[in-house]
Amino acid sequence: MKKIVLISLIGLFMTGCVISNAPVTGRTQLILVDEKQENALGLNEADSILKNATLSSDKTLTNKIVKIGKNIVAVSDDAQKYEWNFYLLEDESVNAFALPGGKVFFYTGILKFMDNDDQIAAVMGHEIAHVLAHHGAERMSQQMLSNVGAQALSSALEIPAEYESLYNTAYGLASNLGVILPFSRKHESEADTIGVYLMYKAGYNPNEAIKFWQKMAAASKGATLEFLSTHPSDERRIKDITAYIETLQ
Ligand SMILES: [Zn+2]
């Protein structure tokens, strides 16, 4: 059985595995989804979101979001290969997120929790960081590995003839999860580090990131906010960001 799993994994590796390093943190990542597939999934999801969403009619606010986004991607070499789009959606939900390939969405609802451009830059940096570090593709890859492992074990003595179809099945199961599910704690913390680094490099005040997360932590006591369900704002997050900022100055 071990042999089957091993052979399946080799099959996966042959179809386009990449060992890469996350920007800024340098963490080693195993990524089984190539960048084209990853970007296509993100683009697909962005299209369907835009079909059902209303763009903000506030030109000043929209321009502000676009400008902050552009300022942040401008300081990252890794960001240059993407086609970035920054959208402000008219939606009272408190949310912001980015899709693989560089499509970043802010809801008007989250702006009410931001006192200045630096706080917008904090969330912008964080979302851009998820894209740059390929967190979606990494999560898909983890899911694929566990699916393949399970399938290979269940077929016990029979070695699958087509590794390609195994890969496709696993890929199909994993691809949605990569785009839709919340990120893990590890990814959240890494996006905080990369995001704070980028906002600092772009000339924004990183201490405002702490203020934003403190504000979120306070808000979480009274209500369920969408952004907080995927981005828990707790003592540890704020402590980690504070410690990282000290290394920058
Ligand atoms: Zn995040």
Rounded to the nearest angstrom, the distance between the alpha carbon of 180 and the centre of ligand 1 is 12
Percent helix, strand and coil across the chain, each to the nearest 5: 65, 10, 25
* Least confident interval from 1-10, 76-85, 104-113, 143-152: 1-10
The per-residue pLDDT for 230 is 77
For helices 163-180 and 135-154, the axis angle rounded to 10 degrees is 140
Distances 30 to 17, 20, 22, 23, 168 between C-alpha atoms, Å: 7, 7, 10, 14, 18
Q: Return the pLDDT at 5.
A: 59
Quote the percentage of the chain above a pLDDT of 70.
78
- 167-219 pLDDT, tens digit each: 666 666 666 666 667 788 889 999 999 999 999 999 999 999 999 999 988 88
Q: What percent of the chain has pLDDT over 90?
A: 55
User: Comparing 16-25, 47-56, 90-99, which segment has the lowest mean pLDDT?
Assistant: 16-25
Structure tokens at 33: 């989804």
What separation in Å is there between the alpha carbon of 198 and the centre of ligand 1? 15
CA of 139 relative to ligand 1 center, distance in Å? 13
Question: Are 164 and 15 contacting, i.e. CB atoms less than 8 angstroms apart?
Answer: yes
Distance (Å) from CA 112 to ligand 1 centroid? 19
Cβ(167)–Cβ(12) below 8 Å? yes
* pLDDT value, residue 32: 83
- Residue 19: strand pairing partners: 30
pLDDT bin (cut points 50, 70, 90) of residue 67 is very high
How many whole angstroms separate alpha carbon 137 and alpha carbon 119?
A: 27
**SS3 label, residue 99:** strand
Q: What confidence tier does 43 reach under pLDDT thresholds 50, 70, 90?
A: very high
What is the domain partition of the chain in residue ranges?
2-33+135-180
98: CA distance to ligand 1 center in Å?
Answer: 9
Q: Is the pLDDT of residue 152 over 80?
A: no
Give 123-149 pLDDT, tens digit per residue. Answer: 999 999 999 999 999 988 888 777 766
Q: What residues form DSSP beta bridges with 87?
A: 105
Cα separation, 233 vs 240, whole angstroms: 11
The mean pLDDT of the chain is: 85
**Side-chain half-sphere CA neighbours of 231 within 13 A:** 26
The alpha helices in 113-234, defined as continuous H runs, are: 117-132, 135-154, 163-180, 185-201, 207-219, 226-230
Separation of CA 135 and ligand 1 centre (Å): 9
The CA 12 to ligand 1 mean position distance, Å, reads: 28
Task: Work out the average pLDDT over 34-60.
Answer: 93
Catalytic residues: 127
Query: Tell me: the pLDDT tens digits for 233-245?
Result: 778 899 999 999 9
Residues 231 and 135 sit within 8 Å (Cβ to Cβ):
no
The CA distance from 196 to 207, in Å, is: 9
